[in-house]
Amino acid sequence: MAQEVAFVTGAAQGIGEAISRRLASDGFAVAVADMKADKAQEVADSINQDGGRAIAVTLDVTDKVQVRSAVEKAATQLGDFNVIVNNAGLGPTTPIESITPEMFDKVYHVNVAGTIWGIQAAVEQFRARHHGGKIINATSQAGVVGNPNLMLYSSTKFAVRGLTQVAARDLAKEGITANAYAPGIVKTPMMMDIAHEVGKNAGKDDEWGMSTFSDGIAMGRLSEPSDVANAVSFLAGHDSDYMTGQTLIVDGGMQFQ
């Protein structure tokens, strides 16, 4: 059988990097897609040095034409297209009164439009190859329950859950599944920036800012990027073939469904 191919956005660091490395270890050929070309190349080179197969793709997910071209390039170079992980996202702290039209446009274009463009490009490749595939989208614990000071981020992640469910309905007859993963509080640069801003807005330190998000985790620890990558591995693999339209919450027990 031909090697299956996965395309991961926002893959140069944090959760995206962990997902890329995990899928490579699972046997996928991986396209490491990110705006940060040098860092994406470093991740791809590292995967190749470890015996995997990866290419780096420079990508701005807000650009529909660029997303389509990048996905097509990955499919051509790697020989197939089976999984897309729409992981790229922004998570600025946005107290209600601070939101501007410019901030709204930026966050929604990355988190929502970028996911839609990824879905469109992936479906085009699945159809061109006359087989099904897997669409995996990044939502968040904050896309299941609204979080304070995160109006833009939370609302985009609620939107991702909705568009995932629509894609699941529309594409199931073609053998294409669509699911989402919802991380909790993960030790990533983006999360540390959010905690810093929340603390600063309250006149507190970074530790206080992080505690506003991490209180109440049943498992008693913050998530590592690898915890999320493990869940995405399940969604990308064939053990989840009968699962679609779902949000897999990976938050250590912050909430129960």
The predicted structure's pLDDT at residue 201: 86
CATH class belonging to 5-187+224-244? alpha beta
Query: Model confidence at 195, in pLDDT bands (50, 70, 90)?
Result: confident
Query: Model confidence at 196, in pLDDT bands (50, 70, 90)?
Result: confident
Please answer whether residues 178 and 171 qualify as being in contact, where contact means their C-beta atoms are separated by less than 8 angstroms. Answer: yes
What are the tens digits of pLDDT across the range 38-93?
A: 999 999 999 999 999 999 999 999 999 999 999 999 999 999 999 999 999 998 88
Report yes or no on whether pTM surpasses 0.95: no
Cα 189 from chain centre: 15
157 is catalytic: yes
Please answer whether residues 141 and 231 qualify as being in contact, where contact means their C-beta atoms are separated by less than 8 angstroms. Answer: no
What are the tens digits of pLDDT across the range 6-15?
A: 999 999 999 9
3-state secondary structure of 4: coil
What are the tens digits of pLDDT across the range 86-143?
A: 999 998 888 999 999 999 999 999 999 999 999 999 999 999 999 999 999 999 999 9
Query: DSSP states of 117-145 as a string?
Result: HHHHHHHHHHHHTTS-EEEEEE--GGGTS
153 is catalytic: yes
Q: What percent of the chain has pLDDT over 90?
A: 79
What are the tens digits of pLDDT across the range 149-165?
A: 899 999 999 999 999 99
Say how far apart CA 228 and CA 146 lie, in whole Å: 20
Of 39, 73, 153, 242, which one is the catalytic site residue?
153
Please answer whether residues 194 and 152 qualify as being in contact, where contact means their C-beta atoms are separated by less than 8 angstroms. Answer: no
Of 157, 173, 187, 242, which one is the catalytic site residue?
157
What are the tens digits of pLDDT across the range 19-31?
A: 999 999 999 999 9
The predicted structure's pLDDT at residue 99: 95
Query: Model confidence at 1, in pLDDT bands (50, 70, 90)?
Result: low
Say how far apart CA 63 and CA 51 lie, in whole Å: 32
Q: Does the pLDDT value for residue 207 go beyond 90?
A: no
The predicted structure's pLDDT at residue 66: 97
Q: Does the pLDDT value for residue 256 go beyond 70?
A: yes
What are the sequence ranges of the domains in the chain?
5-187+224-244
